[in-house]
Copies of this chain bind each other. A is one copy, B any other.
């Protein structure tokens, strides 16, 4: 791994948006995950909203989808691309007292969509923080990582179970 260079820099060490024009257009797909840990009472509140009204997760889902479309504005060296689909899933885990989020992003293009999926997860969790911060300032975003990617020269990559967290 040591020998690979960071392609986002020229040989002179200057940041660049790497040329991808010669890469083939393939179906790209990336799945990212993450969680926000909170007080049990906060989790209960979110669960209640999900059932009836005051649905924190519905707002976070929209924020995540919108953020994924603006990834190239947020991440300086990311390429603009056309997402063909985005899906956001939440799961509430009472044992660890956290909301888990997974985002899947897809496009047909010359670069991967990992950053789109990771940005979606991050903004989903930040939005949950925003909506619940009045009752629980200590919430923590954790374990935001790539779970799986497909497409491009490197093909399928899958996170090894238990790795990295």
Q: Tell me which of B13, B37, B78 contacts A164 (CB under 8 A).
A: B37
Rounded to whole angstroms, the CA-CA distance of A74 and B76 in the bound complex is 12
Distance (whole angstroms) from the CB of A101 to the closest CB of chain B:
12
A interface, over-half SS:
mixed
A31 touches B (CB below 8 Å): no
Known A6-B134, A56-B6, A89-B14: A34·B118 in contact at CB below 8 Å:
no
Q: Quick one: copies of this chain in the complex?
A: 6
Q: How far is the CA of A26 from the CA of B151 in the complex (A)?
A: 24
A109 closest partner in B (C-beta) = B82
Report if A132-B6 is in contact (Cβ < 8 Å); known contacts: A59-B62, A86-B17: yes
Q: Which of B55, B132, B164 is the one whose CB lies under 8 Å from A139? A: B164
Cα A15 to Cα B28 with chains together (Å): 21
